[in-house]
Each structure stands twice: as structure tokens, then as C-alpha cells.
Amino acid sequence: MTYKLIIKRAGLVALLFLAIWFVLAYIPKPYDVFDIAAPTQSEGVKVAVIYAKRIKQESKPYKLFESYFESEREKMHQAFLAKEVLLRDKAERIKKLPTLKNKQRLHVQKLNKELQKEIIDLENDLQNQKEAFLKKANGITQNLQKLLDKSIQSTIEKFGFNIVLNAELDDKMLVMYADKKFDITSDIIKSLNSVDIKF
């Protein structure tokens, strides 16, 4: 009786062992998803990847725009500083004027009012210049975007791609990995560099 019980239990243990082995061997595990073979590019689908940040850092039109933007901003800044220095000098000269007599005080008050108006005019002028400059910069940026779109389109047509992925957006990677043979960034940069652009 004891032997039969031992044999029965051994049979149950063996059956349980086989069931566990079957489960472990044949039921897919969560990490099996990563073992799936990567699909190859079929005749109907050709995928390309671009790195927009690299295009903006390395292409001639974007570099020229960055240089132009900094140069114009610096010119505006220097012109404002020169006018500011003149107004400060004028304010210092007004402070040194005598104000003992009533006529002198009235003259100094008049000069101070004129100075205040010049300061307000300078601030308004600076604001107007900034707005005009930013409007022009936005227009140039839109034109650069159109040029970039045309370069991407011509490169896509040249190589026959029908899906193009931007690998990054605002310093965040959108594509974890892409084989270099799918990267058309250099081709787009070459296309952009062939465009003659002036600001």
C-alpha cells in the first residue's frame, strides 16, 4: 500500500514536472517580442531616416542664417548702446547746469523734458526695430523651411523612398536605432548646400 502511494505520488510529480516543462518551453515569454526578426524593406515600402538637428547645424543656408541673425542682432545692440551713451552724457551735462535763478531752473526743466522724450523715443525705436527684425527673421525661417522641404522631397524622389522618419524632435530621439543605409541626412545637406541664398 505504501509502495502504491509512493508510485502514485511519483507519477503525479512527474506529470507536474512535464506540465511545467511544457509551459516553460512552449508558451511565449514577454521578452520573445524582441526576438522577432526585423522586417526587411519590401519592394513596396522604402523607409528613410533624417536627423533634422544635424541638417540645421551643418547645412550652408542654416549656418548663413545663424551668422546673419547674430550679426544683425549685434549691430542693433551696438547702435542702441551708442545712443544710450549719448543720452547719459546729455543727462550728466544737464545735472551740472546751474539752477539758482528761476530762469535757469525753467531751462533745466525744459532740457529734462526733452531728454525724457528722447529716452522714450529711443525705447520705442528699439521696440520697433526688434519687431521688424523678428518679423524678417520669421520670414527667412519660413523660406528656409520651404527650401528644406524641397530638398527632402527631391531626395525622396531621387531614391524612391515612400516613408521618411524624423529621428529626433527637440533633442529627443524618436527613432531608437536606424541603419546608416537608411539615413539620407547627408544627401539633404548636399542638396541644401547647392542652393544660393542671400538675406
List the chain domain ranges: 1-36, 37-193
pLDDT digits (tens, 9 = 90+) for 124-164: 999 999 999 999 999 999 999 999 999 999 999 998 898 88
Instruction: For residues 101 and 106, give the distance between their C-alpha atoms in angstroms, rounded to a whole number.
Output: 9
Long-range contacts of 114-119, Cβ-Cβ distance < 8 Å, separation of 24 or more: 115/87, 115/90, 115/91, 118/87, 118/90, 119/87
Average pLDDT over residues 58-82: 93
Which pLDDT does position 35 carry in this prediction?
Answer: 43
Which pLDDT does position 20 carry in this prediction?
Answer: 62
* 183 beta partners: 49
Cα-Cα-Cα-Cα dihedral sign, residues 73, 75, 81, 83: negative
Note if the pTM is more than 0.75: no
- In contact, 159 and 184? CB cutoff 8 Å: yes
If one looks up domain 37-193 in CATH, what number appears?
A: 3.30.910.20
Which pLDDT does position 17 carry in this prediction?
Answer: 54
